[in-house]
Amino acid sequence: MKKPVIAIDGYSSTGKSSISKVIADKLELIHLDTGALYRGITWYALQNCMDESGSINLENLFSSLPLIQLEFRNDGRELILHLNHKDISKEIRSNEVSDHVSLVAKQKEVRDFLLQYQRSLAEKGGIIMDGRDIGTVVLPNADFKFFLTASIDERTKRRYHELLSLGIEAEEQQVKENLIERDKIDSERDIAPLKQAEDAIVIDNTSLSKEETIESILSYIQKI
Ligand code: DC
């Protein structure tokens, strides 16, 4: 039997990635966190494409895209993002990257650069991909599409604890503002905005645990 292609989209900190990872393990699928790719490009830009005023020089970034090689390597347990052969899995979670990633992710040049790469990874099936535009743009023919949402306060709490567990200092109010700002930019951008695909199953997990959300998703997948 051909393994399914599953798209999981939704707001920041609804648990998309950690939930997708568990489902991938259970169903023996590959898991691709596409947000990590946008974060990787942002990290590169912060290292290499800044102008004197401390902003990302987008033209410089666009002309540098051919120099960026992104690759997920399997360390036996999970896929670790490498940029030009360097493990950047921790760097991409920093506040600095979080503060700039939506600006980078709304650029057509960046989205085009990543689109083919994402599609090529799904060609053989057996993949669960999480992001913002997977069900609408990257994999419109996915076998299953889910859209996760939760209240802003609950999402703030989750992101705050995630940052602490990574050893990254954070203030709850700042985390909340960053989430609101990112959701706004992601939803309002012209190209591939964050929105639910018409045929997506919507799950509001404000009062669901991670395990309950996983059970809910699996109940749809295992129904057929
Ligand atoms: O899921 P995340 O917080 O790691 O995503 C980081 C940013 O990347 C987020 O602001 C939106 C953007 N993104 C996107 O535009 N399209 C995707 N498929 C995944 C993420």
Instruction: Determine, yes or no, domain membership for 218.
Output: no
Instruction: Determine, yes or no, domain membership for 42.
Output: yes
Domain with residue 60: its CATH number is 3.40.50.300
Q: Give 47-78 pLDDT, tens digit per residue.
A: 999 999 999 999 999 999 999 999 988 876 67
User: The tokens 């209240």 sit on which residue?
Assistant: 151
User: The tokens 């490009």 sit on which residue?
Assistant: 41
Quick check: CB of 102 below 6 Å from ligand 1? yes
- Name which residue sits closest to atom 5 of ligand 1, judged by CA: 35
Q: Which atom belonging to ligand 1 lies closest to the Cα atom of 16?
A: 1
Q: How many independent structural domains does the chain possess?
A: 1
How far is CA 161 from each of CA 75, 132, 166, 182, 183, rounded to the nearest angstrom? 25, 22, 9, 18, 19
Name the β-bridge partners of 72: 81
Which of 79, 101, 118 is the pocket-test mutation for ligand 1 (most atoms within 8 Å of CB)?
101
Residues 6+ apart with CB under 8 A from 28: 3, 126
Q: Give 164-179 pLDDT, tens digit per residue.
A: 998 888 899 999 999 9
Domain residue limits at 171: 8-212
* pTM exceeding 0.85: yes
- Name which residue sits closest to atom 18 of ligand 1, judged by CA: 131
